[in-house]
Structure 1
Amino acid sequence: MLVELDEHGMISHARVRHARSPQIERGKRAGATTGIVVHQTDADTSASSLNSYKRPKANGAHFLIDKDGTIYQTAAIYQRTNHVGPLQARCLAIQKCKPRDFPAKVSAAEMHRIEMLKAPADRYPSNMEAIGIELVGRAKLPPGFKALGEEATWSLDKIRGKYGIFETPTAAQNQSLSWLVNALQGSMQIAADEVFRHPVVSRKNLTEAQGANWTLSTPKP
């Protein structure tokens, strides 16, 4: 499915509301857009995320999907935004390399540096190549959870970052996600196997976007 894009990469379609925040844009991409990364906001409402994107030097993704399925385009597609973070080694996931191929106790920063030396086709998409899609949804601690030891001194946000469980996206979110991914793949020539949940490509909470489904059949256009 194709959608109309202007010279900046803003979608012209009734299903997409423009809410562009230049504060989250980090300059024009130097190369092709090759992948899509699906996130969750760790916030309860779309308003809180949209407001945060207006702050100076804010970080954010290109699209935000509310719980009712409303799609907001928050950055131009041809602009890079900071939404991925340090890359995991894709070669480990597809068994084309082994842990011993990396330095002992390799840090996240060092693994990212090694991965970024590779061609885009040989690694996960980074901020330079990936379109980011955020689904409104928060991570909550399991009932009765209690931090122990040193972790008891951590901030609530840090504890939730490690032990929180993200809520399941709504049916409306997954329908809109499927429509948007299909539109981006067709219009940007992105391969079907180049769409990933955030924790697959970077070191994030493993439950983030675990219920995201971008393979549903959707009405066209």
Structure 2
Amino acid sequence: MLVEIDNHGMVSHARVRRARSPQIERGKRVGAITGIVVHQTDADTLDSSLNSYRNPKANGAHFLIDKDGTIYQTAAIYQRTNHVGPLKARCLVMKTCKPDDFPKKGGAAAMHRIEMQKVPGDRYPGNMEAIGIEMVGRARLPEGFKPTLQQKKRNLTPEEIRGESAIFPTPTAAQNQSLSWLVRVLQDSIQVESSEVFHHPEVSRKNPTEAQGANWNLPVPTP
């Protein structure tokens, strides 16, 4: 399915509402769009995310899907936004490299620098190549959760503990239906391979439950 995309990178379709926030745009891409990364906002409501996107130098993704399935475009797709974070090594999953190929010191930053020297396809798509899709949903600690001994020793704040141990909700059925439609039309309209669509924790060091229940492979009606 094809959709019209104007010269600014804004989608023209009745299913997509425009809510562009220039504050999250970081300049025009210098290469092709090669991937899509699916996120959850870690916020309870649509408005809290839209409001945060209006802050100076805010970070955010190109699309935002509310719990009722309404799709908002929050950045032009030809603009880069900061939504991915330091890349994991795709070659470890492809089994074309070993952990010993990366410096033991330097951690995520060192791995990211090495990965960014590779061409897209040999690595995960980063901010310059990826369209970001956010789905409204906040992670919460499991009922009865108690901090681990290690977390207590590190004197973590409640928010830091939540960041490490909270669990993201499964997206609503309406969100997954809209996600499936949006991914399909973006793949068809800008030539993104199905193998280049990822959950956020696959490509970067994020809470492993983020977007875990996101499903972009549901049947979608046309147009």
Give the TM-score taking structure 1 as reference length.
0.98
2:211 is the counterpart of 1:209: yes
Aligned to 1:183: 185
Distance (whole Å) between structure 1 residues aligned to residue 105 and residue 93 of structure 2: 18
Q: Secondary structure at the match of 2:64?
A: strand
Percent identity over paired residues: 74
- Give the deviation of 1:125 after TM superposition: 0.1
- Give the deviation of 1:105 after TM superposition: 4.5
Aligned to 2:53: 53
- Which region of structure 1 is more displaced relative to structure 2, 30-39 or 147-156? 147-156
Distance (whole Å) between structure 2 residues aligned to residue 127 and residue 100 of structure 1: 26
Aligned to 1:159: 161
Q: Secondary structure at the match of 1:122?
A: coil
Q: Secondary structure at the match of 1:96?
A: coil
Aligned to 2:41: 41
Amino acid in structure 2 at the alignment position of 1:199: P
Q: Secondary structure at the match of 2:175?
A: helix
Gaps of 5+ in 1: none
- Give the deviation of 1:149 after TM superposition: 3.7
Which aligned pairs between 1:102-181 and structure 2 lie closer than 5 A?
Answer: 102-149=102-149, 151-152=151-152, 153-181=155-183
Distance (whole Å) between structure 1 residues aligned to residue 90 and residue 215 of structure 2: 21
Amino acid in structure 2 at the alignment position of 1:197: H
- Which region of structure 1 is more displaced relative to structure 2, 68-77 or 102-111? 102-111
State the Cα RMSD in Å: 0.9
- Give the deviation of 1:103 after TM superposition: 1.6
Give the TM-score taking structure 2 as reference length.
0.97
Distance (whole Å) between structure 2 residues aligned to residue 161 and residue 3 of structure 1: 37
Amino acid in structure 2 at the alignment position of 1:74: T
Distance (whole Å) between structure 2 residues aligned to residue 33 and residue 148 of structure 1: 41
- Give the deviation of 1:157 after TM superposition: 2.1
2:201 is the counterpart of 1:199: yes
- Give the deviation of 1:154 after TM superposition: 1.4
Per-residue CA deviation, residues 14-40 of structure 1 (Å, 9 max, x unaligned), is 000000000000000000000000000
Q: Secondary structure at the match of 1:141?
A: coil
Q: Secondary structure at the match of 1:140?
A: coil
- Give the deviation of 1:182 after TM superposition: 0.1
> Following superposition, which runs of at least 4 residues in structure 1 exceed 3 angstroms of deviation?
none
Amino acid in structure 1 at the alignment position of 2:48: S
Per-residue CA deviation, residues 118-155 of structure 1 (Å, 9 max, x unaligned), is 11121000000000000000110011111144523312
Per-residue CA deviation, residues 165-200 of structure 1 (Å, 9 max, x unaligned), is 000000000000000000000001000110000000
Distance (whole Å) between structure 1 residues aligned to residue 63 and residue 158 of structure 2: 27
Distance (whole Å) between structure 2 residues aligned to residue 6 and residue 90 of structure 1: 33
Aligned to 1:85: 85
Residue of 200, 217, 220 corresponding to 1:218: 220
- Which region of structure 1 is more displaced relative to structure 2, 169-178 or 153-162? 153-162
- Give the deviation of 1:106 after TM superposition: 4.7
